[in-house]
Structure formats: C-alpha cells, structure tokens
Structure 1
C-alpha cells in the first residue's frame, strides 16, 4: 500500500546525490561567506537540490539563526475586497524582496486565541490591524516577536507605527463636492459593522470638510433600502453624497434609478476604492483611491525596522490618497 504521507526531502538526500557532505550542502544553500567551495561543487549541490525539490526546513532555519523568517499578518473579520487583496499582495511581494515569508490569517480573536497562532508559527514579527491586550503584547515581546499595529487601533498601546490617512479619504470626498458648489452633503454609511473601523474616520474627514453637519444615513447593498435613503436626502435638500466605499456608492446610484433621479444633476455621488466596477457604473463613479503599493512599502519598512530594533524612516502618506474624477460627481 502506498504511504499517504511522503517523506520530506532532507539535506542528507541532497548531499548523497551531489556526492558531498551535509555541511557543504548547508554552506552552499545558505550562501555562507568565507567558504572555499568550487564552482563545480556549488553547481552539483544546486542541481541536486533542484532535481529533488528540496525546500529548507523553516523550523530548522529558525533554530540555526535564532529568528524566524515569517511575518504573520492578523486580519480582523473584514470582507476581503479588491483594496485589501491588493494590499496583501503588495505586502507579500515587499517582504519576499527582504527574504521574509508573509502569512496572512483572516478572522477575529474569537476564532482562535492569538497566542495559539503566533506560538504555532513563531514569527519574526506580527503585523496587526487592530489592538492587542496588554497581556498579548507582553507575551509576544517577551518571546522576541516584533509587533507592529498597522492601522486604526482604538487603544493607546502599542503606539501607532502607521496611520493610514482614512480621515483624508473622507475629507477629499467632501472637498470634491464642495468645490463643485454642493453645500448640503449626505454620508452613506455601511450597514456592515465589521468595517466601522474604516467608516468612522472617513466620516470624521467628511465632517471636517463640511461647513454644516452632513446628513448620515445607513445604506445597505439593497436597491429598495437605498432608494429610501435617497428619498430622505432629496427631501432634505442634499445635493451630494459621500459614500463609505464604491459598493455603497453604487447602491446609492441604484436607489436613485428607482426614484427616477440622475447623477450628478439630482444628486452627485463620490465613492472610495476605485474597484473595477466603479468605471462600469452608470454613470461612471467618481471615487477616491489609495496607493496600496505605497501603503505596503511603508508597512514593510516599518516591520523590518521593528525586527531589527531600529526606527523606521518618517513617511508622509497624505499624498497617496487621490480623487479620480468621473461622471457621477
């Protein structure tokens, strides 16, 4: 009967095939300096490793170097849309360039205790997007795990190593509308409580840019419910709406169609994220976008600095948020 669990290829297998010692295999594969290994021997080792499909053990490497090469990213219970997906992809690429492996774990603290996750992986660093308890922070740092809180935590510790400018997102939405002459503005708030951590600072940015308090209404991703929000805005004299994101903005557009209204003549609408469907909306959606590659580069630099015990370089992220003007506003 075939063994369902194949045996892992080891450095001893590579050594036998290449006709060298395990130490030589280790020197070659780890590119150890100050070793006098001929080009021919190095080539045999690399060819043997490739032909066998050899992958060094992460656990063994951590024991040898005293540090894992894994960065563990703990995501809250967020919907993984195009923007978060782009950020994760850019982070993976950025860390790979520094020889680090990026592992993302979506979910929340109730799914599995945080300690179970980081102890199982023994990462070099944990990149999180919400706060930890003081006990969790103490335990990770005592184990030599660098900790970076990457976004919008509500507590006071650890300090915010990164502050993605979510307020600026809302401010740019409102400024775009006010520059077009809109003085009575609405805010389309999402009905998904999981994204409140984004929605609140965006709404704060809208409020900061408006001369009067915006009319805030929850807009589900449902045409009938959105039409009711549109009806109330229209009755209040609202002429422009800042939506939490592009999906909510498109719900507003759907609600307007039900009411026989048109954007931007009856109600101008501005979204956030520039998802692919935004340019296909009718009318094409004006939106605010964030350069996720720049966010990822800053996060990667911040994590590497935390691992190495140095201060990350100061970075101004305000310029990475821009308005894409289309037909809806």
Structure 2
C-alpha cells in the first residue's frame, strides 16, 4: 500500500490509524485512503483490540422492544453518529431467549456499552473492570434533557394535549396493548395528564386500544359515551392512532369531525392514512448525537459538553386533528 500511495509505511500507518499530532497533508492523506480503497484494505479488528486494549465497537443494548419505525430509525441514526466518530455501533436485543449480556460483551470486547435499560451491579462492575465504558441511557419522564420542550416522554404527551386543547374540552389517551413499550407509554400519558391539569381540562380518559378495528371501535364508543364526552385523542404512536381511525370508520364516523386523533413518530404511513394523520415528530438525529457525544467523551476521558444543542419535538399537522 505504501508503494501504491508513494509514501512511507509509517505515513500509511499514521493515516489509517488516524494518529494525532502528525503533520500529514490532506493530499497525502487522500492518496493513502485512495490506495487503501483500491487494494481493498480492511483493518483487522482483532489487531486493533490487541494494540489499543479495546475495539472500536460500541455495543448497544436494546430492551425487548418491538422494533417498529421509531426504534429502527433511532438505530440507524446512532449507527451514523458513531460512524462519524470512528466507532462501530453493534446492536443486541434483549428479546427473551437471547444470549446473556456477559456472553455478549466478553465475545465482542466493546470499547463502550450503551444500554437503554438498567442492568445488574455485577454486570456493570465486571464491564468496568475490563476497561469498558458503561453508559445507561434511560427513557424516563425527563428523557435526554430536563426542559419540557426537549424530546422526552412527558413533553410528547403534553404537545399532543396542547394541540388538541385548542378545539376540544375533554381528551382521551389511546394506550397500547403491548406492555413492552410501557416505559414510553406511561410517561407520555402522564404528559397528557399534566397538560390537561395546567389547561383546566378534565382528567384524560385513558383506554387501551389494540391494533384491531373492532377493539378500537369499542374504545371510540366508550369515549363518545363518557361524561363529559371525549372528542380529542392523544395516541401512544402512529400505529395506535391509525387503529383509532379504523375504529371510527367501523362506526361510520370520521376524523376530525367526530373525533380528532394525533399520533407520534410521523411514520411513512401517517401521511397516507385516511385521513392523513397529525403526528409528533421526534428529533432522532439529535438524540443520537447526544448519546454518541456522551460515549465519545467517556472514551476520551473528557466530560460531556454542556453547550450542545438539545433535540426538540415538533408537530406535523395534517387533517386528522
């Protein structure tokens, strides 16, 4: 490769290992990278681990979440964010029957572990003893930040409620029937409750809505029969919101004339649902940047920067609400 690029072997090593404090021109760096691509060079992960004592892998531990649109998008954004920091993001799902955490991290020897749920003190202690940075990114009522406008479960529910409160005096919350997402659904419902209390509205009517038209129609009947009547629905996500829309159609009703509905995630199907669905949009790239910055800072032995831009949410307003 050195011959192909017309440089010394040391220069090739400096470029490919991104060695700091070396005076290598951009033109030389490009020649080395072009030669590496031409020759099909791929660095040895095992050799890198032996040399530096750790790999460039960040192990992402996902709970047993259904891997729907939002989770899939977050994994993609995290993959890109870590790649931009010369790190490789590898995901392991905590689905029942999967290999244990200790088996996974010992096999991969990651530089860091980014977990979206707590794990035992013994696992954390063992990983730290092995030189692995451990970062737990919990989804709770505070989310990645503390301001209520920042992407968080409470803020999402509050944004839904505030949008509907302009035209509706009683709101409902369409709760999912999958307990695996309770870590998101509960705080979002709490956000709706908090906003309703602040706006002087009655307590929201929370009902579980399965993803079937008949079950959703039962929930719609109950909301319309409530006293006071529920005419605005904050749904856990777009899937549950579209189930409510299907329930309305099953009863010969329409949104937003008979009941307004708002979802979360702005999935591709939201724009083509009947009617097109209003949805809360999360700044998933911003969330990924926050987590990647935290991991990179931990690996560099530096404190996470406090002046980074926090991700925020917005509404994609369509015809359903």
Report TM bin, short chain: 0.7 to 0.9
The match for 1:72 is: 59
Structure 2, gaps ≥5 residues long: none
1:243 aligns with 2:235: yes
Cα drift, residue 78 of structure 1: 1.4
Taking the TM superposition and a 5 Å limit, the aligned residue runs for 1:23-172 are 26-27=13-14, 29-30=16-17, 32=19, 49-108=36-95, 110-152=97-139, 164-172=151-159
Closer/same/farther in 2, CA of residues 295 and 19 from structure 1, 3 Å limit: closer
Which is greater in Rg?
1
The match for 2:193 is: 207
Mean Cα deviation higher: 132-141 or 47-56 = 47-56
Cα drift, residue 320 of structure 1: 1.0
Cα drift, residue 106 of structure 1: 2.1
Matches of 2:318 and 2:68 in 1, distance apart?
A: 22
Residues 40-83 of structure 1 show CA distances to partners (whole Å, capped at 9, x for unaligned) of x9999767644542312112112112232111111112122222
The match for 1:267 is: 259
Matches of 1:269 and 1:302 in 2, distance apart?
A: 36
Mean Cα deviation higher: 84-93 or 225-234 = 84-93
Matches of 1:94 and 1:272 in 2, distance apart?
A: 23
Preserved CA contact (<8 Å) 2:265 2:281? yes
Preserved CA contact (<8 Å) 2:83 2:89? yes
Cα drift, residue 270 of structure 1: 0.8
Closer/same/farther in 2, CA of residues 117 and 197 from structure 1, 3 Å limit: same
Closer/same/farther in 2, CA of residues 261 and 19 from structure 1, 3 Å limit: closer
Preserved CA contact (<8 Å) 1:219 1:251? yes
Closer/same/farther in 2, CA of residues 161 and 272 from structure 1, 3 Å limit: closer
SS at 2:202 equivalent: coil
Superposed CA RMSD: 3.2
Cα drift, residue 162 of structure 1: 6.2
Cα drift, residue 314 of structure 1: 2.9
The match for 1:297 is: 289
> TM-score normalised to the size of structure 2?
0.85
The match for 1:8 is: none
Query: Across the two proteins, how many residue pairs are aligned to each other?
Result: 311
Preserved CA contact (<8 Å) 1:289 1:324? yes
Preserved CA contact (<8 Å) 2:176 2:208? yes
The match for 1:183 is: 169
1:233 aligns with 2:219: no
Preserved CA contact (<8 Å) 2:155 2:188? yes
Cα drift, residue 310 of structure 1: 2.4
SS at 2:65 equivalent: coil
> TM-score normalised to the size of structure 1?
0.83
